[in-house]
Amino acid sequence: MSDAALTNSSIVANYRDKTPTSARLAEEAGALLPSGIAHDSRYIEPYGIYVEHAKGPRKWDVDGNEYVDFFGGHGALLLGHNNDAVVAAIHEAMDQGSHFGSNHPREVRWASLVSEMIPSAERVRFTSSGTESTHMALRLARAATGRNGLARLKTHFHGWHDHMTSGYANHFDGSATPGVLESVAEQVVLLPPGDIEAAKRLLAENDDIAALFVEPTGGSFGMIPLSADYLAALRDITAQHGVMLIFDEVITGFRVSPGGAQGHYGITPDMTTLAKIIAGGLPGGAVVGRRDIMDALDFAAARADGKEKIAHPGTFNANPVSAAAGIAALEIIQSTDACDKANATCETIRQGMNRVLVDRGIAWSVYGTFSGFHIFMNTQGREIRPDAFNPFDIPFEELKTKNGDVANKLRLAMLVEGVDLMSWPGGLVSATHGQDDIDRTVAAFDKALAMLRDEGEI
């Protein structure tokens, strides 16, 4: 936002009034941390809130303000903040030691849960993050196929290692982003999402594609949605051409259903990348997949195949405390209706927010699938009905385009009203969000829109 916009906005002034301690901390942080933050999607102007504690669907900042939280630990917290069973498991593990530098019983139980729940998980290798998981999945795909190239879908996010930087937020032409080698970017082919003919053409013409990565419910958890038919067709054509189909289920895993998106759709990829919910709110991830592919990580199998094993160290792989949290979370998700509950609550939130848009005569829409919601801000001024909006009718570029200043102000106005939206803007709903959270969110959205209207933004 421009300096003038920051100075002249009553939304910004109200936000500053409510959050003086966050402002002071942000100033200190700005002297040390680039932009004062540790993750790009926490960037908000003039500064973000500093949170002290959280429980269930709520969190409280250092000024004592309470928020309905839709960040959900960047999606890690399907069970909400500080789930009692998860916290107890963490304490128990912590008391036994945070790192043994050895195998430990919890990693075996953790892997068996992952394998029971995720259909493609014949073998499991734990990592420390989603980025590490997609990095290893790509390497495994190259080792399995002997090919170099990587196909990805525009707008899909797979972490921040060198092969994954173009084409999710910018550089849609596939060019290298700062610090990435052109020679790496050249190995990446970006496909238009949802266009099966483009994918077919690529695989027919290019016999050097090792893997095709996809966020199975669409870029940013359905912001740019994909159909089940498209996923099924991808399964067919990748199998036909010997290309490894990799579902990046870092968000969707254990969220869409206990078996992730693949469990929901009944489509099994060759490999799957996991993180977030898998570790119950602590750092952790995994790459899982077909045994013959994953055998490239196995000392004996690689030796028997006469192949050099793929090396995979990682100080915090299968950390015992993360394993404990992961086991506790996955056991609950496996044995309860937590995913369905979050999905149903999110549908009610989408409907409630759309009613507000209809009542106020604003041609935006709140859409999404499963436990995610996205706010379409209609930058092209289309004639749409908020409650009858079909994102499949809209080009992906437009779904992705935000009016940054209005989105920033909307998020500030929602914070003033006690709701923390994700930067999409939108949110991820947990199984702990209930009727009171729904009501507060819908009422906050109504007030936030009134504030934006007062400032001439809509």
CB of 219 to ligand PLP, least distance (A): 9
Between the alpha carbon of residue 252 and those of residues 247, 283, 369, 429, the distances in Å are 9, 17, 11, 12
Dump the DSSP string for 196-213.
Answer: HHHHHHHHHH-TTEEEEE
Of residues 246 and 407, the one with the C-beta less far from ligand PLP: 246
Q: Provide the binding-site residues for ligand PLP, judged by CB under 6 A.
A: 74, 129-131, 134, 157-159, 215, 248, 250-251, 275, 285
What gap in Å lies between CA 37 and CA 76, rounded to an integer? 19
428, β-bridge pairs: 372
Long-range contacts of 347-351 (CB under 8 A, 24+ apart): 348/438, 349/373, 349/427, 349/429, 349/433, 349/438, 349/441, 349/442, 351/387
Cβ-based nearer residue to ligand PLP, 76 or 90? 76
Q: Which residue's CB is nearer to ligand PLP, number 422 or number 444?
A: 422
The Cα–Cα gap between 267 and 244 comes to 14
Residue 455 beta carbon to ligand PLP: minimum distance, rounded to whole angstroms? 31
Tokens in use for 400? Answer: 């992705």
Report how far residue 289's alpha carbon sits from residue 282's, in angstroms, rounded to the nearest whole number.
Answer: 23
In whole angstroms, give the CA distance from residue 38 to residue 56: 23
Separation CA 43–CA 31 (nearest Å): 15
Residue 77 identity: L
Position closest to ligand PLP via CB: 130
For residues 408 and 414, the answer to whether their CB atoms sit within 8 Å is no
| CA geometry: angle 350, 356, 361, nearest 5 deg | 125
- Cβ neighbors of 69 (< 8 A, separation 6 or more) are 54, 57, 58, 59, 81, 420
Cβ proximity to ligand PLP: between 128 and 145 the closer is 128
> Which residue from 430, 251, 263 is spatially nearest to 341, judged by alpha carbons?
430
Smallest separation, CB 133 to ligand PLP (Å):
7
User: What's the min distance (Å) between Cβ of 288 and ligand PLP?
Assistant: 14
Nearer to ligand PLP, 16 or 74 (CB): 74
Closer CB to ligand PLP, residue 77 or residue 451? 77
Nearer to ligand PLP, 171 or 409 (CB): 171
Q: Which is nearer to ligand PLP, 9 or 133 (CB)?
A: 133
Q: How far is the CB of 129 from ligand PLP (least distance, A)?
A: 4
* Token couple for 34: 């680039």
Tokens of 292: 């013959």
Q: State which residue, 131 or 441, has the beta carbon closest to ligand PLP.
A: 131
Q: How far is the CB of 13 from ligand PLP (least distance, A)?
A: 32
Provide the minimum distance between the beta carbon of 446 and ligand PLP in the complex, in angstroms, as a whole number: 30
Closest contact distance (angstroms) between CB of 215 and ligand PLP is 5
Burial 120-130 (b: 16+ CB within 10 A, else e): bbbbbbbbbbb
**Min dist. Cβ of residue 286 to ligand PLP (A):** 11
